[in-house]
Amino acid sequence: MGGKFSSQVSQEDVIELQQKTHFDEMELMSLYEQFTRISNSQIRDDLIDQEEFREALGLTNSDYIVHRIFSVFDENGDGFINVKEFICGLSFMSKKATFEDKLKFVFRIYDLDRDGFIDKEELYNVFKASLDQTALSLTEEQMRSMIDSTFFEADLNHDGLISYDEFRLMVIKHPQMIDSMTLNKDLIALPK
Ligand SMILES: [Ca+2]
Ligand SMILES: [Ca+2]
Ligand SMILES: [Ca+2]
């Protein structure tokens, strides 16, 4: 690869990506190369499917969480991650992301129906998926009471939903809520 963007990415796209993300032109080229490699690692179609995604990013989260991360990347919802979606998504979850970026990204992982609020079911899904990864097993009742106490703490206006601002305040108190869902390694230097 000669470090050139292919026909998939125009010069305007590069400029747009530089404005939208935290990456400079060199980094974008490197990410583009990674995209080419990952998107052709299992099926050679220049699109990243869920299996290619999980493997390339070394995600060890549960299937539900990986599926949610994938969906947040897949902005147009077509079931594949194209080069722009890949680069924008990484900008929000990688080491280069600001706290606010990561917050937005993780909020969207929780917000399954994309209505801008986290309801109890959405929180339950993520908690359950995270617990399934640990040796800890809780009964349905214990799970529900954990959800209730989280809402008791987070749902400041008591409307039964966690808004983005409420989520933000909760994460400031419990930063581990987003740590497990963002990448701490540097994707730009992803090993082959
Ligand atoms: Ca897509
Ligand atoms: Ca929601
Ligand atoms: Ca609320």
So what CATH class is 99-179?
Answer: mainly alpha
Is it true that domain 11-97+183-188 has CATH number 1.10.238.10?
yes
Distances in whole angstroms, Cα of residue 156 to Cα of each of 57, 107, 151, 173: 35, 17, 8, 14
What's the confidence (pLDDT) of residue 134? 80
Task: State pLDDT tens for residues 141-156.
Answer: 999 999 999 999 999 9
* Nearest ligand, CA 165: 3
Task: Note whether 26 and 17 are within 8 A (CB).
Answer: no
SS3 162: strand
Amino acid symbol at 111: D
What's the confidence (pLDDT) of residue 115? 97
Examine domains 11-97+183-188 and 99-179 and report if their fold is the same.
Answer: yes
Break the chain into its structural domains and give their ranges. 11-97+183-188, 99-179
Give the pLDDT band (50/70/90) at residue 192. Answer: very low
Angle at 79 between CA 77 and CA 81, to 5 degrees: 90
Rounded CA separation 103/66 (Å): 17
Rounded CA separation 50/69 (Å): 10
Rounded CA separation 189/171 (Å): 28
Task: State pLDDT tens for residues 2-31.
Answer: 445 555 678 888 889 999 998 998 999 999
What's the confidence (pLDDT) of residue 177? 79
CA of 95 to the centre of ligand 1 (A): 23
Task: State pLDDT tens for residues 58-93.
Answer: 888 888 999 999 999 999 999 999 999 999 999 988
**Which residue matches tokens 């974008």?**
28
CA of 89 to the centre of ligand 3 (A): 27
- Check pLDDT > 50 for residue 191: no
* Nearest ligand, CA 86: 1
Distances in whole angstroms, Cα of residue 90 to Cα of each of 54, 55, 102, 188: 13, 15, 10, 10
* Nearest ligand, CA 71: 1
Give me 23's structure tokens: 């990456």
Beta strands, E only, 44-167:
none
Task: Note whether 51 and 42 are within 8 A (CB).
Answer: yes
What's the confidence (pLDDT) of residue 186? 56
